[in-house]
Each structure stands twice: as structure tokens, then as C-alpha cells.
Amino acid sequence: MLTVKGYRLLVKAKEIERVSGGGIIISVEGTNQDRLEQTGNQIGTVVGVGHTCWKGSVDDTPWCEVGDDILYSKHAGRFVFDPVTDEKFLTINDDDVIAVIQKGTDNVT
């Protein structure tokens, strides 16, 4: 597993699905830009937090943690591959987190 450093977060981007007129789920894969054009939302799950995240904020209080689903900035980050597991992740800066999605609801905070 990758370990993120500094003020960055490691995010597992949510796979985006489209549903055809007949109800068939079509998985959409591609670059971050492809996903932006298709949905307008960038949602993922935080899987790692760097040791200096939120150090520049007023009270250094983290606004998200590992396991949180988040909404992140439109042009945030860079995709990286874990050389051990070959999984694809996104690295983003701590200030690219726009909102935390509350579990069990459809609300974004």
C-alpha cells in the first residue's frame, strides 16, 4: 500500500456508473477529465492522510479522516498506481477537500 506524505491525502476515487435506458449499469472508466465531463462531481474515499495535513488551518483540526467519503475539487490531484497491488489512487492536497459526505445520508457537509 502507498503511504502519502506531507499535506496530501490518498483517495480511492469512486467508480462512476451510468445506467442505460434498459436499466443496465455501464461502468465508466478513464481519466479524471473524462469523469468531470460525465458527472461534474469528484467523489472518493480517503484511504491515507499525510502527517502535515491541516497544519496551516486556524486550529489544525482535520476536517476529514481515513474512511470518509469526500467531494474534492474539480482539477485536484494526480492519479497514481500502487506498484504492489496495481490499484489506482488519487493524491490530492488537503485544501482540495470541498466537503465530507455524511454516512447513511445523501447530504454533503
pLDDT in tens, 18-69: 666 676 666 655 545 455 445 556 899 999 999 988 886 777 778 889 999 9
Q: Write out the three cell numbers for 68.
A: 470518509
pLDDT at residue 103 in the model: 77
